Amino acid sequence: MEFALRHPLHSLALVAALLACGCDEPQETVSARPPAPHPTPHDSATTPEEVARAVCAGRTWLASTQNDNGSWNCDSCGLPDSVSLTGLAVVALVDGEDPHFRDAVQAGATWLTRVQRKDGSFPAERFEEQAIGLWALARASTKNAEHRQAAERSLAWIAKVQAEHGGFDKDGAAPENAADTAVTAWVLLGLLEAQATGFEGATAPLQRSAECLASNQSIKSYPAAARLLARIVLGRSTERLAAETLPGKLSPDSRHGSSVGDMTFTLFVATAAPMVGDTFLAEYRRACPGTLCRLQETRRTDGEGHYVEGSWSPEKHMGGNPRSRTALTAMAILCLTSETWAPPPPPPPVW
């Protein structure tokens, strides 16, 4: 198994734990009766080995829920064969070196390629799904030329529809001064991955979206985390914003017991943490992994007999979205492993 360290601050301890956790051992099947995941950590002290076991269990659950056509869906959410769920699952599984994980990634990326329209867009209701499709195909493109070509088409289409001010909303390019921070931040994640994997056309749209997010002065949830990512992309100071973004945001809210405050916010912060480093990364390590590991499902099945062990439940997520167990599980895995996949900070732009 090989891990390409994308940033000098990546945790070698976590990488070593992922290598040693045993998820790369071939399994008989992941469809008829999923193999038992590794034990889920649930105490207050979370070690790299415990995080690795949680990641292995989460990936095992994700792989077991893939559809025969390569997609992921959420019947209870009204999301059949979903671009966003498939994209998130692919990104969460792409570093898992178990043969079943590799097969799941290739099948998921192939499904995205198959449903992609000729203009490079995906059949999706909200624009962030376009960004998640790009993110997944770019991550999977290093091992498949067809997936790389699909990622290039997706990138070209996003760049084409982007307005000069760089902002997006749920329908696409937003009117000036009316961008949706969360949607634009999802686009930023997709463009960051495209740039990190060598797509030359990613730089200009990435800079435009970063400028849009950096101009947002709100210090609340999505805006704060999104601005932090944007300032990293633009090579600007992050010290004050980092200090205002993290404290108290990732631990469970005292009024809601074991609920996750907001998984999307946490994912944006998780992406930024290895790039910022130092105190911010240390605080992220202290606040996030233990909380997520404690919230992972340890029961084998839910009340309706569905296999849930290793997943993360919407019932423990107090933010409005996502409501899908697949999306939450994929995002939790990405939050726990961000030090192995977060792109290095791009070089500052030359004006």
- In angstroms, the CA 112 to CA 158 distance is 16
State which fold the 12-19+46-341 domain adopts.
Glycosyltransferase (1.50.10)
Q: For residue 75, what pLDDT is reported?
A: 63
- In angstroms, the CA 168 to CA 186 distance is 10
How high is the mean pLDDT of the chain? 81
**What's the whole-number mean pLDDT along residues 103-109?**
96
User: What's the Cα-to-Cα distance from 272 to each of 189, 221, 249, rounded to whole Å?
Assistant: 10, 14, 14
> What is the 3-state composition of the chain as percent helix, strand, coil, each rounded to the nearest 5?
55, 5, 40
Helix axes of 145-161 and 181-196: crossing angle, nearest 10 degrees: 140
Q: Which residue has the higher pLDDT, 327 or 15?
A: 327
Residue 96 has pLDDT above 80, yes or no: no
pLDDT tier, 279 (very low <50, low <70, confident <90, very high otherwise): confident
Query: Token pair of 248, please?
Result: 């108290």
Residue 259 has pLDDT above 70, yes or no: no
Helix (H, G, I), strand (E, B) or coil at 95: coil
Q: Which residue has the higher pLDDT, 171 or 248?
A: 171
Q: For residue 198, what pLDDT is reported?
A: 93
Residue 321 has pLDDT above 60, yes or no: no
Q: Is the dihedral of CA 304, 310, 316, 321 positive or negative?
A: negative
Residue 7 has pLDDT above 60, yes or no: no
Residue 315 has pLDDT above 60, yes or no: yes
Q: Which of 162, 161, 182 lies closest to 170 in space, CA to CA?
A: 182
Residue 15 has pLDDT above 70, yes or no: no
Residue that is written with structure tokens 């931040």 in the block: 185
For the entire predicted model, the pTM comes to 0.85
CB atoms within 10 A of CB 248: 8
Helix axes of 83-93 and 128-140: crossing angle, nearest 10 degrees: 30
pLDDT tier, 344 (very low <50, low <70, confident <90, very high otherwise): confident
Whether a cis peptide bond, with omega within 30° of 0, leads into 322 is yes
